[in-house]
Structure 1
Amino acid sequence: MVGERIVERLPENWRWVVTTRAAVVLALLVALLSVATGILRIDQQAADFGPFAAHVPIVVQNAVGFTGALTGFLMLASALALRRGLRAGWWATFLLLPITAGQGLLQASPYSLPLVVLSVCALPTLLLTRRRFDRSLELTTTQLAAGGALVGVQAYGTFGAYALREQFDGIDHLLDAFYFTLITSSTVGYGDIGPETEVAMLFTMSVVVLGVASFGIAIGALVGPAIQARISKTLGIMTDSELELLEDHILVLGYGDLTEPIVDELHRAETQFLVVTRDQTAANELSDRDIRVLTANPSDEDPLRRAKIETARAVLVATDDDAQDAMAVLTARELRPDVRIVTAATDRQNTRKLERAGADDVISLAELGGHLLVQSALGTDESPLVSKLLEME
């Protein structure tokens, strides 16, 4: 990517400028300016802006005042998604920036000039940091169904009300029908549009029932997990909805001196993995780095079931205690007889014990370190043990 190469060639003291934080800050500023100029423009007259309004119809100016505020709130949501490193947030911001710039021009206001300039300046920064937003937006089946139900009910009410517009007082256009559906399903009900026949009354009642249900389900499915995830992250645990997304992953059982190198290696390999440890401090540190972690005893059956060991690709057991490793290996082997289990023995004498516990491969750290030291001293690169490790890969 050309943009990434440009960033790498920047001087060290300038490189901080083109960062994810800069992209997030610029997106937030554009969002706030879009909301502010949009609200300001809604209640202003074209004459207030002199020559800026000369070439833009007043209807367009009034319309973009409202849509400018709406786009600003959408931009705010995309900026929050950027902060989480989501690829969807990057695309949303990339699509919204030209819109905010265009709305700033159509608002025909001198106050919208900073919005136009900032929107245009934010685009290069966003392009240069494209690869840094690589996290996928993971939605459960329940969340997708809840969102679909909400959209479906609004579509049902809008098109249904428009089809029955002759039986309603105040519905002449499709926008009227959508307005009626939205205020009815949200139970606001201003009363400016009302049914005039029994059929229209029955239809209105169906919109109320379905609308309230869809809003309730959507809030519970979409907002609830986000709140739960925030609380769970603070406590260093994973939510059930997050655990449901695990599949073909690596389970890392326990936390010890080997865990950090394992985590780094799995990150470089871009492999999905989950760490199960009862060390609360370690769990909090891993969670702060956006690493999936489940705070529980890795030798208990229930945490391994929650960690979806039945769909795991392999199990790595990596504590500093061979006895704890053996218990974790025994539990994992009992729950999943066909999964590949690899562990390390801190004491060379425990290698065969761990194999009898059910590990497919046991790496003796002392033996490995000794071979590597000798081979390094002799200036050779291969040893029987290193060859075995390469064959395992």
Structure 2
Amino acid sequence: MWQKSINLWLEVRHSLVALAVFLNGLLIFKTVWGMSINLVELFHIQSFSGINWANIANGPWFILGIFLMINAFGLLYRARTAWAVSIVLLLITLVYTMHFYPNLSFSISLCLATLIGLLLLGKDFNRSSATAGGIFAFISFTMLLFYSTYGALYFGDGFHPAIDNLMTAFYFSIVTMTTVGYGDIIPMTEPARLFTVSIIFAGITVFATSLTTVFGPIIRGGLNKLVKGSQQNMNRNDHFIVCGMSILAISTVAQLKQRGLEVTMIIGRPEEEFPLIEQRLGSKCDIISGDSTDNAVLSKAGLDNCRALLALSDDDATNAFIVLSAKELSAEAKTVLAVNDSKNMNRVKQVKADIVLSPQLFGSEILASVLSGEPLDNDKLISMLLNSGHGLFDKT
């Protein structure tokens, strides 16, 4: 029962953090709606020049709540960008609430607890699909631009010269988000200064991350073509696909390469680190940067023509998802799955990989056999090591 509780916690803890971020956004809505303002009129704008922005109180805070709720959905998919942006937004929310509404003790406590949870579980948010990251980065940048432009109009009287039109507000937002800061518009009041600081922190995270996510791959691809020239696609056939960067994965690739076998590695590291990985392997290797659970990445690695796919990452859940993705893409694909924690063996077996390997369990059984004086032969060793390996290397 205790082990089931632990496994359940490991599976849902990222969802609980996402829910906490979502609740922070809802609390902002609840607080704002409890004040004497008409939020419905916020989006019924006919003419910017004729608006008295002081009548629409707490508008930037309201938009911040929307931003938090959008980021919560990104956290459900363990997006790294959503994790980083959520931390910055929660810091802004915490400072804003403590300064202007110190009596909201529950909101402050929840915000602080959510921040601590995000920081402690940072390793859980490690997914960075290029397509999903680009879409999320675009949404984040758009929301931040709307937040900063509207906030500049709302706090317009607190600047010198005062910001009283949309174009000036847009200009100030871009200049501040990019940390250029020409100094032609200066925040004079305390609220205006705090708002400017929030744009700077959010801009460094969202604006820079958005540009890197969207344009980074394009620039890197262009530079690689310029430096390395056009390269032909690898002929991936009758090879092994190794997923992960664990010690077991590196050692397995090195041993396969020593035996003259073709290997393709799938790792979640940038291409800049490939030389270091090849240095660890001691030889050149066909490496793909991407998510091993992504069908497009598995197809690129040549799953249909491989001899076997080896899921050898440090995380048992990730290994199980890799095998499931491979089986979904190609039911005939042979799969090998490593179990890092022997407690997960029974659960992982349900994935029905062709070979389930547990180095931890294998080592403990060998040690116990040696210490108890039991004889060890090849058949017994293979029986300990593999739960089923029949037909893996059979050729039709």
- Larger CA Rg, structure 1 vs 2: 1
- TM-score normalised by structure 1 residue count: 0.37
